[in-house]
Amino acid sequence: MVDDAEKLIARTPETFKEKQNIDARILHEVREIDLKQRRLRVKKTDTGQTTWEPFEQLLVSTGSISIRPDVPGIDAKGIYGVNTLQSGLNVRRVVDEQQPQKAVIIGGGYIGLEMAEALIMRKLEVSLVERSEQVMNTLDSDMGELVSEALMKVGVKLYRNESLTAFETDNGSVQAVVTDQRTLPTDLVILGMGVQPNTGLAQDAGIPLGVKGAIKVNDLMQTEIEGIWAAGDCAECYHLMRRQPFHIALGTVANKMGRVAGINIGGGYATFPGIVGTAVSKICDVEVARTGLQEKEVQDLGLQYVTGKIESSTRAGYYPDSGRIHVKLLAEKGTGRLLGGQIVGKEGAAKRIDVLATALHAELTLDAMINLDLSYAPPYSPVWDPIIIAARVAVKKL
């Protein structure tokens, strides 16, 4: 949808220099962190030249890496991950220049969903293989089913409960995706199998890791080693609902962690209290959002809960372009506190999740939520906002 990729670059090294006097060195790869001598071994990737750079304070923000399955044929041409701007551009170039007819996406998370949308818009025949019973498995299965329906409605062939086993290749190029149940001929494969923290460098240096191999940090973004900080996808954060350290790879979280780390490294004081697990995505005209805990997480934590699930409309029913919206809430028995929420629906549905995320941060109970002074006018909402209707349904069960 964005024709000029330059528009996606938030800041160039020149802007960093001019506006903030920051020396941003691209094409420089840190190969080793020497904690004893407080220095980094840095390789210039274009010339191969290696130097040692000293530091006093170090922020590790190496992000995450896409999971590449270890299956036969994985190194064939035509198999793409989309984890960097360049990798996205590579896919676009292939679609423009080679005009592939068929694509298979492996994985039904938000990257799989968004790539399905992009390729459907470019008129490819798209199949999506997902090993779970539902796409978007950060939603409960009943809400995930709505997303699966949305995918199929826009023409995506969906293969659930199927696992990738291999890629068939010819002359070094991918020809087909092989699952445990079928062979899907294809011209193009997109990997959307999730990410893991990119922490090999930190681990080799002896910086302690925590949950899912992410770097252990406290609320100030300090690691356990004096003067070494970590933030973003490579670091742990605290999950306020689970009351445990957690790993989540989202830009919204990375930015906040980075800000806190920066303030502290600069001699100020800031803390990042944690996350509630809010995320939003879409497939064509269906929006998908979630926050807090889903049913299986609540069950794993041993909490007792009720759900309130409703179908309503995004605007007043009579208003033009009013669409369906499904809201599901989870609340704890006894205390009545909100535990999580999920929304699937047409335009205007997804950002309602922010009300639920705020309610989670404020530890609101459903009793408090049914009287929230949420806005109403026909272009935006029915008189009773769908969130309040869902809260009322759950309150009755409580």
Ligand X SMILES: Cc1cc2nc3c(=O)[nH]c(=O)nc-3n(C[C@H](O)[C@H](O)[C@H](O)COP(=O)(O)OP(=O)(O)OC[C@H]3O[C@@H](n4cnc5c(N)ncnc54)[C@H](O)[C@@H]3O)c2cc1C
> CB-based contacts of 371: which residues, under 8 Å, 6+ apart?
none
Q: Nearest-CB residue to ligand X?
A: 232
Contact status: 82 vs ligand X (CB under 6 A): yes
Instruction: Name the one range near ligand X by CB under 6 A: 139-147, 180-188, 204-212, 243-251.
Output: 243-251
For residue 107, give both structure tokens.
Answer: 């994985």
Distance CA 194, CA 248 (A): 11
Contact status: 213 vs ligand X (CB under 6 A): no
Q: Using DSSP bridges, classify how beta strands 244-246 and 79-81 pair: parallel, antiparallel or unpaired.
A: unpaired
Q: Which is nearer to ligand X, 89 or 377 (CB)?
A: 89
Interface residue with ligand X, options 33, 58, 59, 62 (CB under 6 A) = 62
For residue 56, give both structure tokens.
Answer: 């006093």
Q: How far is the CB of 118 from ligand X (least distance, A)?
A: 10
Interface residue with ligand X, options 35, 154, 166, 201 (CB under 6 A) = 201
Q: How far is the CB of 61 from ligand X (least distance, A)?
A: 5
Q: Which is nearer to ligand X, 48 or 251 (CB)?
A: 251
Q: Which is nearer to ligand X, 61 or 313 (CB)?
A: 61
DSSP 124: -
Distance CA 301, CA 395 (A): 22
Interface residue with ligand X, options 251, 267, 268, 302 (CB under 6 A) = 251
Strand, coil or helix: what is 131?
Answer: coil
Q: How far is the CB of 63 from ligand X (least distance, A)?
A: 2
Q: How far is the CB of 196 from ligand X (least distance, A)?
A: 12
Contact status: 199 vs ligand X (CB under 6 A): no
Closest by alpha carbon to 370, among 333, 334, 398?
Answer: 398
Output the CA torsion sign for 275, 241, 310, 394.
Answer: negative
What residues from 23 to 52 belong to the interface with ligand X (CB under 6 A)? 29-30
Interface residue with ligand X, options 127, 134, 148, 198 (CB under 6 A) = 198
Interface residue with ligand X, options 94, 250, 263, 398 (CB under 6 A) = 250
* Cα-only R_g, the chain: 23
Kindly report the number of other CB atoms within 10 A of residue 66's CB atom: 19
> What does the DSSP assignment read for 29-52?
EEEEEETTTTEEEEEETTT--EEE
Closest by alpha carbon to 341, among 274, 373, 379, 388?
Answer: 388
DSSP 378: T
Q: How far is the CB of 337 from ligand X (least distance, A)?
A: 26
Torsion of CA 361, 363, 369, 375, to 10 degrees: -20
> CB-based contacts of 121: which residues, under 8 Å, 6+ apart?
none
Q: How far is the CB of 302 from ligand X (least distance, A)?
A: 30
Q: Which is nearer to ligand X, 35 or 201 (CB)?
A: 201
Interface residue with ligand X, options 16, 32, 39, 63 (CB under 6 A) = 63
Q: Which is nearer to ligand X, 130 or 233 (CB)?
A: 233
- Helix and strand totals (H; E) in the chain: 10, 22
Contact status: 204 vs ligand X (CB under 6 A): no
Contact status: 111 vs ligand X (CB under 6 A): yes
Q: Which is nearer to ligand X, 205 or 369 (CB)?
A: 205
Q: Which is nearer to ligand X, 144 or 232 (CB)?
A: 232
Q: How many residues bind ligand X (CB under 6 A)?
A: 17
Intra-chain end-to-end CA distance of the chain, in Å:
45
Query: Which residues of the shown chain bind ligand X in the complex (CB under 6 A)?
Result: 29-30, 61-63, 82-83, 111, 198, 201, 232-233, 249-252, 254
